[in-house]
């Protein structure tokens, strides 16, 4: 069997052919993949059952097992996703600059794929299909490593997807799969061949990846999202939004972790909030003021917060609460303690909303809605390969656009720089 | 005096105010900077003379001393650059996506600055002015470290620029300067505060930076540029372009290092090329075939090339030469040995040109012109902070666009994700 380095080297070679592939072939691959998955549904479910049985035996929590499952519903969802992706416009070959530098010397900036991308993701078979298809549509070669709890499902899905892609006319090296944990370290060492690593998973895992490779890494370690409840706001709406942002999917990176409450409304608002949170079994970790203002309301679980808690992603039914003087203090708190993911202001004051959205240094800045909206599907990107909290390249949910880069093409007729340096010729820089 | 970490922390705080600054204030700063430099020209030249005297004493080569010089001509050039930059449109606040996700739920993607950028650059006082002004126009805070050979000139230029920027209304932390070499390592450790490092300088220096920081690095280590001379081409033009690409500025990263010659024209073309190169004192390092085909032509210096030479950036009057079968072999050679900087094909065959420009995986792919054109000023970007050979974020010459990122703003009216998950509401994703 080929080592990861050998696979990556081959992919680097095939990346040029993949970049040159027509959108017709890439779309044809998406159709072939859908048909391949549908035609082999029974076999896929069979393999998935093996993974589920192993998970059961290992005593894996039910919530996690739910994610491992790949049934008729999940198959339907990924097939719909494949169709949606096919309908999106080609992200490649878009001319984003067309400029005549001088007569007969034309500069074009044109979008193209990044090249070879390594994606390491959690045990979710539907993620494998989504990631592979996003990489195909964007003309990238993808080296995939999924969670070990779905090894059997991943293996058959990968085989079917790869066969379909090659049948459609894409190069052999368009996709490859890594199956063992050791291979992750091999992948991280392939900086000569791999252009980008996208890790998904726990905070500690993503940090490990970031600290152990020279390859650029796109993704997020923490997701410490905030909601600031301003003085003048719709308080019932605020409670509904906070509850959604905390409990709709508690383990998601865009779930809220810290609430900042304007001091002038705290006395009235906090007891109502505490009741609503208690009903949903959310524990409040508040400052002393907050705890005392809540008193016995809701009689939910309450405890005092420490300074470090503000830098913690709970990913659990716990929420931090503190009071702030005004929008300025809320902005300072978020820019100091946040992870630049998604933060929301709830206010009827448009000036405060604009100030917040301008000054908060996060990928997503929201007004009067739940932080949970930050997601590639919800943004209309078809799907996402991950969410980036970095500021270089792509930010927020990363779909097709984030998987492309560009190159400059210069069309000349024998021009040399010497003529411009000596003043024989000069640039006129006309955008066409 | 403040440590680099203290400076960077303050800049991080001021970055939000910098991002919120109006283009009027940023443009006013550019005017104030020009006026400040012009009003203090005599003092600047005085300080520059100290640097030149020290360089003379240290026996620094004349070619290098030329770069250290800051006189009337250089001042005029940087002032013109400041005016040109002021006239460019605001790179911030551009809406690149405006989409209604559902009624009353509008998503906007808007350009914004990266934040705090550390730039380490060579001893060239004009570079300090260009880099500082690009960062100001793009709303970034910049921590600058210039070459030590221009310490005195840098100090006065920095002081004047910083005073002017603050006078125009920008925050105190918009600019800072590091002066000693030790401070580079301090800067590299500031991953909590610095969003991007742009190193300029030798290959070894850039690699050192890349290997010693967790901060994203944008730039290039090598500049191994190629010219492929195809079978059907204008041979006189080819020689003119090759000579320009090699000698117009030999030490530049976009100078050509390797020539790939189509085998069918080699016998006739190589002796003429050798003559032209010999006239310019360029040494040919060729394969055995190449050397034997050249014979005694031009009687310039010639030697046999090794495989490693193809991975070497000479930055000298030396050029590697080999024969290739066709455009495909040229593409393979470049993608294997190149540094993804700038590569040019000289041909009358448009099909081969398109194939080359499609398949060569470089920031710049050129047809019938010199590789020396890859430069922010020549591309019409006003100036450049550097040239990137990475594929993440910005590629090629980096001007204002490469110094920006974006954020997503979501404007709602109380929307929660639960309603969409439960099918109460659904997204309609309408681009506005």
Q: How far is CA A234 from CA A229, B31, B47, in A?
A: 9, 46, 62
- Sign of the Cα pseudo-torsion (A153, A159, A164, A165, in order): positive
- Please report which confidence band the pLDDT of residue A235 belongs to, taking 50, 70 and 90 as the band edges: very high
Mean pLDDT, rounded, for B324-342 = 96
**Which residue, among B290, B360, B356, B292, has the nearest Cα to B319 in the 3D structure?**
B290
Pick from A20, A373, A391: CB nearest B405: A391
Pick from B214, B392, B396: CB nearest A392: B392
Test A418 with B248 for CB contact under 8 angstroms: yes
Element (H, E) at B143: strand B141-145
Distance, in Å, from the CA atom of B380 to the CA atom of A331, rounded to the nearest integer, reads 37
Q: Please report the pLDDT score of residue A63 as a whole number.
A: 72
Q: How far is CA A339 from CA A222, A237, B117, B416, in A?
A: 6, 25, 19, 22
Test A367 with B409 for CB contact under 8 angstroms: yes
Q: Please report the pLDDT score of residue B220 as a whole number.
A: 82
Element (H, E) at B99: strand B95-102
| Residues of A in Cβ contact (< 8 Å) with B358 | 19-20
Mean pLDDT, rounded, for B92-102 = 96
- Sign of the Cα pseudo-torsion (A377, A381, A385, A391, in order): negative
What mean pLDDT is reported for chain B?
A: 94
Residue of B nearest to A14 (CA): B359
Residue of A nearest to B388 (CA): A407
Other beta carbons within 10 angstroms of residue A173's beta carbon come to: 21
Residue of B nearest to A419 (CA): B244
| Residues of B in Cβ contact (< 8 Å) with A427 | 378, 380
Pick from A234, A360, A366: CB nearest B410: A366
Half-sphere exposure of B217 (CA within 13 A, CB side): 22
Length of chain B: 432
Per-residue pLDDT of B277-324, as tens digits, reads 999 999 999 999 999 999 887 778 899 999 999 999 988 899 999 999
| Residues of A in Cβ contact (< 8 Å) with B421 | 248
Residue of A nearest to B238 (CA): A414
Number of H helices, E strands in chain B: 15, 17
pTM score: 0.92
Instruction: Find the radius of gyration of the CA atoms of chain B.
Output: 25
Element (H, E) at B142: strand B141-145
Q: Please report the pLDDT score of residue A337 as a whole number.
A: 95
Distance, in Å, from the CA atom of B259 to the CA atom of A168, rounded to the nearest integer, reads 37
Higher pLDDT pick, B370 / A65: B370
Q: Please report the pLDDT score of residue B1 as a whole number.
A: 74
Contact B165, B175 (CB under 8 A): yes
For residue B260, the distance in angstroms to the closest alpha carbon of chain A comes to 17
DSSP character at residue B217: B
Test B391 with A241 for CB contact under 8 angstroms: no
Mean pLDDT, rounded, for A258-269 = 97
Mean pLDDT, rounded, for A41-59 = 95
Test B409 with A19 for CB contact under 8 angstroms: no
Picking from B171, B311, B414, B429 by the largest number of A CB atoms within 10 A of its own CB, the best residue to mutate is: B414
Pick from B17, B210, B407: CB nearest A395: B407
**Which residue, among A289, A44, A30, has the nearest Cα to A175 in the 3D structure?**
A30
CA angle B171–B172–B175, rounded 5-degree value: 100
Give the β-pairing of B364-369 and B342-346: parallel
Residue of A nearest to B196 (CA): A392
For residue A371, the distance in angstroms to the closest alpha carbon of chain B comes to 9
Test B408 with A363 for CB contact under 8 angstroms: yes
Distance, in Å, from the CA atom of B194 to the CA atom of B197, rounded to the nearest integer, reads 8
Who contacts A94 (Cβ-Cβ below 8 Å, separation ≥6)? A110, A111
Mean pLDDT, rounded, for B130-145 = 97
Pick from A195, A361, A412: CB nearest B366: A412
Test B357 with A409 for CB contact under 8 angstroms: yes
User: Is B67's pLDDT higher than 90?
Assistant: no
Per-residue pLDDT of A357-390, as tens digits, reads 999 999 999 999 999 999 998 998 888 899 999 9
Q: Please report the pLDDT score of residue B375 as a whole number.
A: 92
Test B414 with A366 for CB contact under 8 angstroms: no
Q: Please report the pLDDT score of residue A361 as a whole number.
A: 94
Chain A to chain B Cβ contacts (< 8 Å): 229
Pick from A335, A368, A372: CB nearest B417: A372
């Amino acid at each position: 069997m080929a080592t990861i380095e050998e696979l990556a080297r081959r992919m680097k070679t095939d990346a040029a052919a993949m970049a040159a592939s027509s959108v017709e072939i890439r779309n044809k691959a998406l159709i072939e993949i859908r048909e391949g998955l549908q035609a082999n549904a029974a076999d896929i479910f069979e393999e998935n059952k093996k993974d589920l049985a192993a998970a059961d035996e290992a005593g894996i929590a039910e919530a996690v097992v739910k994610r491992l499952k790949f049934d008729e519903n999940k198959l339907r969802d990924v097939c719909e996703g494949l169709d949606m992706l096919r309908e999106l416009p080609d992200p490649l070959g878009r001319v984003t600059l067309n400029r005549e530098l001088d007569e007969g010397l034309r500069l074009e900036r044109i979008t193209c794929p990044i090249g070879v991308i390594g994606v390491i993701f959690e045990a979710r078979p539907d993620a494998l299909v989504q990631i592979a298809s996003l990489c195909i549509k964007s003309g990238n070669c993808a080296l995939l490593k999924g969670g070990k709890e779905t090894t059997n499902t991943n293996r058959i899905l990968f085989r079917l997807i790869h066969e379909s892609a090659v049948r459609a006319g894409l190069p052999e090296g368009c996709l490859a799969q890594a199956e063992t944990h050791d291979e992750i370290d091999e992948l991280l060492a392939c900086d000569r061949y791999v252009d980008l690593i996208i890790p998904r998973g726990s905070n500690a895992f993503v940090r490990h990846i970031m600290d152990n490779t020279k390859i650029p890494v796109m993704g997020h370690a923490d997701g410490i999202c905030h909601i600031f409840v301003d003085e003048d706001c719709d308080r019932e709406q605020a409670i509904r939004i906070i509850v959604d942002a905390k409990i709709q999917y508690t383990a998601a990176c865009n779930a809220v972790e810290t609430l900042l409450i304007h001091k002038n409304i705290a006395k009235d608002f906090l007891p109502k909030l505490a009741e609503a949170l208690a009903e949903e079994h959310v524990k409040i970790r508040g400052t002393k003021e907050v705890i005392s203002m809540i008193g016995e309301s809701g009689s939910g679980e309450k405890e005092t917060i420490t300074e470090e808690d503000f830098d913690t992603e709970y990913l659990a039914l716990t929420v931090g609460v503190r009071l702030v003087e005004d929008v300025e203090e809320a902005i300072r708190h978020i820019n100091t303690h946040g992870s630049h993911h998604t933060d929301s202001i709830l206010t009827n004051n448009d000036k405060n909303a604009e100030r917040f959205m301008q000054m908060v240094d996060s990928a997503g800045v929201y007004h009067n809605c739940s932080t949970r909206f930050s997601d590639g599907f919800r943004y209309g990107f078809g799907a996402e390969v991950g969410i980036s909290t970095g500021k270089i390249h792509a930010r927020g949910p990363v779909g097709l656009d984030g998987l492309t880069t560009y190159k400059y093409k210069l069309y000349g007729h024998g021009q040399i720089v010497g003529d411009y340096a000596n003043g024989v010729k000069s640039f006129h820089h006309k955008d066409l």
